[in-house]
A and B are shown apart, each in its own frame.
Chain A
């Protein structure tokens, strides 16, 4: 058997190429006879490894974290026997030094997600609606390039902008708006500016692709029927972009709850986030691993539950629009 669909490889037509020879190679045909003899077998040949991979490597680490969170001590030590306990979880509720950063993380992430949405919606709308098709890629590129640069490098760029000798303070002093440098760094302000800087793209892309899909004729038809710009936005554009809003908000929320380098470098003692608390259990003392694992589980469950609930709500709203 020779497949001649190949392009530009003259000569393979006359004598069998690699694949032709393989398909008549004894051991290979024997193997395929066994593996591919029935659709059922083909299915298992194809799916066994993916199923094993996702259960063992994708789900496995989370389950192991859950397991460790229920142990009295981990990593195992010879003089202490580990047993199961719920104490690691009760530690969280016992002390406000843990609950405060937890609440702060949730409030921070929620507020920043909404802020990012409010900033990015006009940007995405402008890109999808007002920039000519052939220029959209260029305008999008201007926003994309900074996002290929890593987290740490971008945080550093933010530090240069906001430092006491930073460009922003220099500009403000030069304009005469302030005499002394304003301490932007290590505050909620610098942390917010950094998180928005890092997550905005994850809001932009879903919004842009949702807005781009809405046919312009819908708006024109509504205008013909006498709908004003605000009504057209509220009744057509906004409902049809709900899906983009939902996935953008989910991504930004989940990413900002999991940030570690950003709060360490841009935040201060008054803005400690839960990720820093969790990391502390792994770096300061080794035998605190179970507590860190328990706190991670609390964070993960809360973040997934909140974003799942939010998505349900948005799906419900979007469903009502379709009716």
Chain B
């Protein structure tokens, strides 16, 4: 590549970084505005909006509700995802491609259609909209991501590990718990945090399957539709900081995984 195209690409990269970060930075700033109306310029500043979030019972409740849904759906997704990944890796049988295709299906269905199919299915089996319906839909939606991450890790597991355990007398179940599962743990941490983020941030499924209690994204959506105030900025900023921290943690654990895999 010539020097000019290289500089051009560098400019595009930094312009894109600005495009991504400036709106979020502005959103954080606006949370300090001492006025009920969102918009520039900001003439006087206050911390009240940020402090107010912690005193707002509805927000704190929605936060706890979203958190519980994220943890519960992640637990189910991890359990099923690891099981499916272990069952499909290193095994060939008739129909494996079909099972693998169906495993990945929830990840490629457009969001609103997936939400509606879950809404209909919940009605068919007589499940009321609400917490369990949301947990169920988030878990199903997240299984493909766990399977992909765990399968990638499993293919790097040397066959000799399992054979050694079996030679020492371990049956397949004990081999799984003592050899395979510890080896998978970084992938499970990384995949699990990723699932928690997907669930915590999810809007469309929570919106269609929710009962009267809103999750945090649904609450922010409702507040956005009824009129904007810097309170929403403060809530969003706190959500942003939390999700960014969780994401960084997941990234670190996944990176440790690829490094260790390279060393193995």
Contacts and interface: CB of A to CB of B under 8 A. Distances in A.
B109 A53 contact: no
Most-contacted residue by chain A among B27, B30, B41, B168 (CB, 10 A): B27
Contacts, number: 272
Interface in A140-199: 141-146, 148-161, 163-167, 170, 197
Contact of B243 (A62, A149, A167, A299): A149
Contacts of A164: 39
B146 to A, nearest CB: 12
A276 B240 CA distance: 27
B103 interface: yes
B224 A167 contact: no
A135 interface: no
Interface in B196-244: 197, 200-204, 207-208, 217, 220-221, 224-225, 228, 232-233, 236, 239-240, 243-244
Contacts of B27: 153, 156-157, 160
Contacts of B5: 229
B131 to A, nearest CB: 18
A60 interface: yes
Nearest to B102: A54
Given A152-B203, A161-B26, A55 B217 contact: no
Interface residues of A, number: 94
Contact of B9 (A55, A64, A130, A157): A130
Main secondary structure of the interface of B (DSSP, over half): helix
A145 B174 contact: no
20 contacts: A3-B168, A32-B173, A36-B172, A46-B87, A59-B105, A62-B109, A65-B113, A65-B120, A75-B123, A119-B12, A143-B17, A144-B247, A148-B244, A148-B246, A157-B236, A164-B39, A258-B110, A258-B112, A265-B225, A278-B116
Given A149-B240, A197-B20, 17 more contacts: A1-B170, A6-B178, A19-B178, A32-B173, A36-B171, A46-B86, A64-B117, A64-B124, A122-B8, A144-B247, A150-B243, A156-B233, A157-B23, A260-B115, A260-B203, A260-B204, A278-B113
